């Protein structure tokens, strides 16, 4: 059967096609002797013929005649101008890093994101700002070699705040790095098998894939594909290495198919002779997120990504191609209905040899037609919402050079945490460990370091902020289990089911966007939910997916949760209901401005009526959707507390 993917009803058109802007200009590119030969599907601008074209015209680039006196200058956001003037993400960051100031200026703040860092300050300090930098690594499929883990552990102690944070995109975040130490920390990561390049900024972010190190053809192929997509869309102009290791290159050899797909310009996708053949001077309009997985395994929150890729295998388990989904994204703005969370929808199927070309075509479509005038509407989901899937597919196919086939039917999705012990299939074992909100510190951090170092283990980070220890011999299992449990790293049967699926963003004190607590608040929230469960008679094994964010940007993907709490004021949350345990249905806003002390008034009646009125195997999210919000509010208003 085909898995149902449900989008929010009635997504409004946010902007019209005549508001799109072109990427770059001949003037902007002249300094690098680059001329963009990308195809403008709707006419006008600069166009190209494929190099192999047999057309009688030998013209390489044609600009449609225009009337300068009638043309209106295209509005661009401030960040677009910063990128254009930056000499491929170098200036003025290179100069700002040399000053004695503890911070960098606004232009450099925007540019350092592309290098994998955000400037922050402790918002709880009074009498001045203590600036520091958060660094985020880039780890396709969440893979972390042993050497890199030990390096990150050391850097956290020597240059950070003594903790590591596992993120919802399978990366590390290292907080508290001072500007004067940035180059030391960055170069240490680079020289120890790591990178922060493109972990932030207007380009492709870390590519997700299931963290489980199974020796299965489909899992291995998904992880290999994630690696190849990450390599394809990695910046090529050298700005990262120029800045942090004085131009020394630490790149591993790329598979020939990646190089071939990147260089191919047979359908007008590339900036010819540019240091950035895919990105050009302007890179993408906003961040871009991709996930790859296998059928049934939705550990990656597939539908929240700009592109979701699913391996399709034949009856013998041999990968044949991919289903592709497009247009997901979580970020929105309070009280602006024109901004919204959205889940991806099916685009089509491609054979396995075409996946890099198809992904590149989608990225180029967003590069060419995504909005660059207002960053609130610059994610690809708004382009999909404006155009519709049919028009979007038509444009992508012109850059791809082929028609997409119909998506293949897939089985139902499941959320898979990979906690506990599992056989890899190659004689070794892996062990998934739950880490509350991904924060590794204290005795837990010390013990993890000892185990990983002693047994020379590689690790993987999951999209649910947990960690997987890989390649463990059978004879090591008992001693590792004992040591870990003594540090609070318990097997899943000893972890509350509510905690196992919960997520929270860091929020206060360092995130500049936070409106209220998330990571520091969720332990208490989960305990209160468990107490409500006990009060209304729900069993311990029963659970709901709870996700908390300190602002509406949605880093912990609260809009896919059964219970999403989104900060909308001091000690106040907007409540979202209706997501599902397998993350295939988007939630909807239920109530605004719910004070943290009033959570029981909202949720105890709902949990009580779920227990009484649910259908067989009906999750809490499905129950709230079936009942409807009007009925749920009635249940809250008429509820009399159940007996203790």
Contacts of 50 (CB under 8 A, 6+ apart): 265, 266, 267, 268
Active-site annotation holder among 83, 138, 205, 342: 205
The catalytic residue among 262, 445, 505, 557 is 505
φ and ψ at residue 493, rounded to 5 degrees: -65, -15
Closest CA to 214 of 224, 206, 202: 224
Pair type for strands 546-549 and 563-569: parallel
Provide the H-helix boundaries in 163-204.
Answer: 182-191
Q: Known catalytic residue: 289?
A: yes
Q: Where are the alpha helices (DSSP H) in 265-312?
A: none
212 touches 461 (CB < 8 A): no
- Is 557 annotated as catalytic? no
Beta bridge partners of 549: 566
Q: Which of 169, 179, 551, 557 is catalytic?
A: 551
Active-site residue identified among 289, 381, 416, 547: 289
- Name which of 59, 62, 60 is nearest 43 in CA terms: 62
Q: Which residue has the tokens 């000892």?
A: 450
Peptide bond preceding 92 in cis form (omega within 30 of 0): yes
Rounded Cα distance between 441 and 446, Å, is: 8
Residue of 360, 511, 547, 557 marked active site = 511
Compute the Cα dihedral for 362, 364, 366, 369 and give only its sign: negative
Q: Is 555 a catalytic residue?
A: yes
Number of H helices, E strands in the chain: 19, 23
Clarify whether 20 is annotated catalytic: no
Q: Is 551 a known active-site residue?
A: yes
| 453 Cβ contact list (under 8 Å, min separation 6) | 146, 150
Of the listed 47, 113, 143, 287, which one is catalytic?
287
Q: What values do phi and psi take at 348, rounded to 5?
A: 160, -170
Active site residue 205: yes
Is the CB of residue 202 less than 8 Å from the CB of residue 163? no
Cα of first residue to Cα of last residue in the chain, in angstroms, is: 44
Catalytic one of 83, 136, 367, 439: 136
Is 72 known to be catalytic? Answer: no
Reply yes or no on whether 136 is catalytic.
yes
Residues assigned a catalytic role: 136, 205, 287, 289, 505, 511, 551, 555
């Amino acid at each position: 059967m085909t898995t149902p993917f449900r989008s929010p009803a009635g997504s409004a058109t946010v902007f019209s096609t005549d508001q799109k802007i072109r990427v770059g200009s001949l003037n902007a590119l002249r300094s690098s002797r680059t001329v963009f030969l990308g195809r403008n599907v709707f006419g006008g601008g600069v166009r190209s013929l494929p190099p192999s074209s047999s057309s009688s015209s030998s013209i390489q680039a044609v600009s449609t005649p225009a009337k300068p006196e009638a043309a209106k200058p295209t509005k661009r956001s401030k960040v677009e101008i910063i990128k254009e003037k930056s000499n491929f993400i170098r200036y003025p960051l290179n100069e700002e890093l040399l000053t004695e100031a503890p911070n960098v200026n606004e232009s450099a703040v925007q540019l350092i994101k592309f290098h994998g860092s955000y400037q922050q300050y402790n918002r709880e300090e009074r009498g001045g700002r203590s600036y520091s930098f958060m660094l985020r690594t880039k780890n396709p499929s969440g893979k972390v070699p042993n050497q890199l883990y030990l390096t990150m552990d050391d850097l956290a102690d020597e240059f950070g705040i003594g903790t590591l944070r596992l993120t919802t995109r399978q990366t590390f975040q290292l907080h508290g790095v001072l500007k004067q130490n940035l180059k030391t920390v960055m170069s240490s990561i680079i020289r120890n098998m790591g990178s922060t390049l493109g972990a932030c900024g207007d380009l492709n972010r870390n590519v997700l894939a299931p963290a489980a190190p199974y020796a299965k053809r489909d899992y291995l192929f998904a992880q290999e594909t994630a690696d190849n997509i990450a390599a394809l869309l990695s910046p090529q102009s050298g700005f990262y290495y120029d800045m942090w290791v004085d131009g020394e290159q630490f790149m591993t050899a790329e598979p020939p198919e990646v190089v071939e797909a990147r260089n191919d310009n047979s359908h007008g996708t590339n900036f010819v002779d540019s240091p950035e053949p895919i990105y050009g001077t302007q890179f993408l309009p906003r961040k871009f997120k991709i996930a790859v997985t296998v059928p049934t395994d939705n550990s990656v929150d597939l539908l929240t990504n700009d592109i979701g890729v699913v391996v399709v295998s034949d009856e013998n388990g041999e990968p044949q191609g991919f289903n592709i989904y497009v247009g997901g994204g979580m970020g929105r703005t309070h009280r602006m209905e024109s901004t919204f969370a959205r889940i991806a929808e099916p685009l089509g199927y491609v054979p396995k040899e075409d996946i890099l070309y198809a992904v590149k075509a989608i990225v180029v479509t967003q590069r060419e037609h995504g909005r660059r005038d207002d960053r609130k509407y610059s994610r690809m989901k708004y382009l999909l919402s404006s155009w519709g899937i049919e028009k979007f597919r038509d444009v992508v196919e012109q850059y791809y050079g082929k028609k997409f086939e119909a998506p293949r039917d897939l089985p139902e999705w499941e959320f898979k945490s990979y906690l506990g012990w599992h056989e890899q299939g190659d004689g070794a074992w892996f062990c998934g460990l739950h880490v509350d909100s991904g924060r590794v510190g204290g005795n837990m951090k010390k013990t993890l370091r000892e185990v990983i170092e002693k047994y020379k283990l590689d690790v993987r980070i999951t999209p649910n902020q947990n960690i997987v220890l890989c390649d463990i011999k059978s004879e090591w299992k008992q001693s590792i289990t004992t040591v870990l449990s003594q540090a609070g790293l318990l097997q899943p049967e000893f972890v509350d089911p509510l905690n196992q699926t919960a997520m929270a963003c860091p929020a206060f004190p360092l995130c500049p966007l936070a409106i209220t607590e998330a990571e520091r608040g969720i332990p208490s929230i989960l305990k209160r939910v468990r107490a409500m469960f006990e009060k209304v008679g729900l069993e311990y094994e029963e659970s709901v997916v709870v996700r908390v964010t300190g602002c509406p940007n949605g880093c912990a993907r609260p809009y896919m949760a059964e219970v999403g709490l989104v900060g909308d004021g001091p000690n106040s949350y907007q409540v979202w209901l209706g997501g599902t345990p397998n993350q295939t249905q988007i939630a909807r806003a239920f109530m605004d401005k719910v004070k943290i002390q009033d959570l029981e008034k909202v949720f105890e009646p709902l949990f009580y009526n779920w227990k009484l009125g649910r259908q067989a195997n009906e999750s809490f999210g499905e129950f709230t959707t079936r009942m409807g919000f009007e009925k749920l509010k009635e249940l809250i208003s008429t509820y009399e507390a159940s007996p203790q």
